[in-house]
A and B are shown apart, each in its own frame.
Chain A
Amino acid sequence: METPRTLTEAAEALRAGAVTSVALTERAIETADRLDGELGTYLARFDEAALAAAERADRELAAGRDRGPLHGVPFGVKDIIAVAEGPTTAQSLVLDPAWGAGRDAPVAARLKAAGAVITGKATTMEFACGMPDFGKPFPVPRNPWNTGTWAGGSSSGTGSGVAAGMFYAGLGTDTAGSIRIPAAFCGITGLMPTFGRVPKSGVAPLGYSLDHVGPMARSARDCAAVMDAIAGAHPSDPDSVDLPYEPPVLDGTLDGVRIGVVREHHFPDGHDPAVGPAYDAALGVLAAKGAVLTEITLPYWYEMLMANVVTLGSEALAYHRNDLSARWDDYGDATRATLARAAAVTGADYVQAQRVRRVAQDAVARLFDDLDVIVAPTTSAGAPRYDDIVPDEGPIDVGGVFTYIHTMYWDCVGNPVLAAPMGTTAGGLPLSIQFAGPAWGEAAILRAADAYQTATDWHLRVPPTS
C-alpha cells in the first residue's frame, strides 16, 4: 500500500487493516536512521519503547479497543516536555537531569492514554529560548527543505520531523511563535491553542504567562485530532481552564464566515516578493469557499511585541537567574542575551506590560465581535540561512531574526492561532498563513484552515530530503 501521508490517513489505514502500527513505526525508525544525522531532529530516540507501544496498539485495535485517531501513530515530543522513557534536557547543559526523570507531563500522559506511539524527544532551542548554538554538544536542527537553512524554533525538531516523515505529528510549545515558526519554515501545520487550553505543567517553562503547548502535523485535520486528546484542564497547571473543548466541524465550507485580513506590519522592507502573491492566492481560496473578507488592522501591535519582550524576559530571568549567575558559560549566546537584557526591566515595567496586555486583549476580543477568524502571513520570508543568522564572531542578533516573523503578538493576547502552508519562495522554501480565532475558538480556525486545505495541497508537499 501507499504510505499514509497524514495522521488522519494513517488512522484510517490502521482501521482498514491496510497497515499496522508496527509497520508505521518501523518506517518512522528507518526514516530517522536515514535522515536524523543530517537534520538534527532528535535529542533522544525511543525505538524499542516505540515498537513495544506499536505492538500493543496493534493488539488493542485487533481486539476492538480503539483509543481514537492517535492510536498506533508515531508521534514526536519537544524535549522541554517530560516523557518517562528518557531524560528532558531542554537542549541545555544546565537543566538538572533529575527534573521530571521517569515521569510523564500531563500532556504526554494524555498522548499515551490516546495510544500515540512516542518515538522520541525532538530538538529545541535552548530552553525554547535561544538560537542554534554550534558551540554546544547538541544537534543543530536543519530544515528538510534546504539543510543550509534553519528549521525554525524553538520546536525545531518537531517541525523537521513531521516534514521529513519521522513521525506524523508532534508536540511543540509557543511563547513567541515557537510552534508557528517551525511549522512555517518546514511547510507543515501547527496550532497554538488558547492560553490555558492545554496543561503546561511538566514542561520546562520559558514565560509562565505566555507558554502554550500544541500540536504540529501535516494538516489542520491532524491538529484537530491531537487537540481532542490533549485539551482540558489539569489541577497541576493553575493557568489551565476548565472549559469544554468543542471539536470543529470540518465540512470544507466557509459560507458566511467573516474573516479579517491583516496586511499592516506584515510586509516589512526586504520581505520576500513571493509572500504577497501567495497571501493573495490564499485569500482567493477562502473567498471562493464562501468567506466574507474584510481588511483590518491589529490594535496595539508594537505594544504587544514589547509586552512580550518584557514579560518573557522577566519571567524567564526569574527562573534562570541563579543558574545564569553560576554557569554563564554553560548557556548559549542567544539565550544569555535574551535573559540578561531582562535585568534592565523593572518590576513596574513588568506590571505595566500586564496592564497593556489587558487593554489589548479587550481590543482583540472586540474585533471578534464582528469577525470569526483573522488571517495574516506567519512570516514574510522563507527560512533564513544559518550563514545569515549565526555570525562567525559576536552574539546573534536575536531581534533581527524576528523582523520577518509575525507571531509574538498573539502569544501576548492569548488567542488560538494556527499556521498553515500557503506557497513557496522562488527558491522553494515554504511560506505560511496564520488563522487566529477568539479565545477558546480553536474550532473556528481549525474549520477555516481545513477548508483552505481541502482546496490546496501545500500541506501535503514533502521536502526533497524526505
Chain B
Amino acid sequence: MDVDETRRLMARSGLTPTDTELTAFAAALDMQRAGIDLLYAVPEARYADPALRFQAGARVTPWTDPDPDPE
C-alpha cells in the first residue's frame, strides 16, 4: 500500500498520522494484509462458526450498580 492510499484509508476513519507515521504504516500494512489472508487459507474454518456469538435477550448490567457479591 502506498503512502497516499494509506493516508486516504486513515482519513476515512478520521485519523491524521504524521508523514513519518504514514510511511511506516504503509510498509506495515502490506505485511498485515498478507497475514490476514492466511486466516482465509485455513481449510478447517470453511464451515466453522465464529468464536463470538450473539445472545438474544442479553441485558446491560452496569458495573457501577450496587455490588451483588456477598462480602
- A residues lining the B interface (CB < 8 Å): 100, 103-106, 109-110, 113, 199, 201-202, 209, 232, 234-238, 300, 302-303, 305-307, 309-310, 317, 321-322, 324-325, 328, 333, 336-337, 340-341, 343-345, 349, 351-359, 361, 394-395, 399
Contact = CB atoms under 8 A, between A and B. Distances in A.
Interface residues of B, number: 41
B56 interface: no
Nearest to A237: B63
Interface in B40-62: 40, 42, 44-45, 48-52, 55, 58, 61-62
B4 to A, nearest CB: 14
B24 to A, nearest CB: 5
A361 B38 CA distance: 17
A202 B13 contact: no
Contacts of A395: 20-21, 24
A363 to B, nearest CB: 8
Contact of A394 (B24, B28, B33): B24
Contact of A306 (B12, B24, B36): B36
Contacts of A100: 64
A367 to B, nearest CB: 15
Interface centre among B40, B48, B51 (most CB of A within 10 A): B51
A353 B38 CA distance: 10
A356 B42 contact: yes
Tell me the dominant secondary structure on chain B's binding face: loop
A343 B28 CA distance: 12
Given A234-B69, A236-B62, A325 B42 contact: no
5 A-B pairs with the lowest CB-CB distances in the bound complex, closest first: A325-B14, A354-B50, A201-B63, A236-B63, A357-B51
A303 B42 contact: yes
Given A303-B38, A307-B39, A325 B44 contact: no
Interface of B: 1, 9-10, 12-17, 20-21, 24-25, 28-29, 32-33, 35-36, 38-40, 42, 44-45, 48-52, 55, 58, 61-65, 67-69, 71
A106 B69 contact: yes
Given A110-B69, A236-B65, A209 B52 contact: yes
Given A349-B36, A352-B39, A394-B20, A340 B15 contact: yes
Interface centre among B14, B20, B64, B68 (most CB of A within 10 A): B64
Contacts of A302: 35, 38
Given A110-B69, A336-B17, A359 B45 contact: yes
A337 B25 CA distance: 7
Given A325-B13, A328-B17, A343-B10, A351 B28 contact: no
A353 B21 contact: no
B29 A341 contact: yes
Given A343-B12, A358-B50, A309 B69 contact: no
Contacts of B9: 343-344
Given A106-B63, A336-B21, A328 B16 contact: yes
Contacts of A306: 35-36, 38-39
Contacts of A303: 38-39, 42
Given A237-B63, A354-B52, 6 more contacts: A103-B64, A209-B52, A321-B14, A325-B16, A341-B28, A352-B40
Contacts of A237: 63
A235 B68 CA distance: 8
Given A355-B49, A355-B50, A394-B20, A113 B71 contact: yes
Contacts of A354: 50-52
Contacts of B45: 352, 355-356, 358-359
A306 B38 CA distance: 8
22 contacts: A105-B63, A113-B71, A201-B63, A202-B63, A209-B52, A235-B68, A236-B61, A307-B39, A324-B14, A325-B15, A337-B24, A337-B28, A341-B29, A349-B39, A351-B50, A352-B39, A355-B49, A356-B48, A359-B44, A395-B20, A395-B21, A399-B28
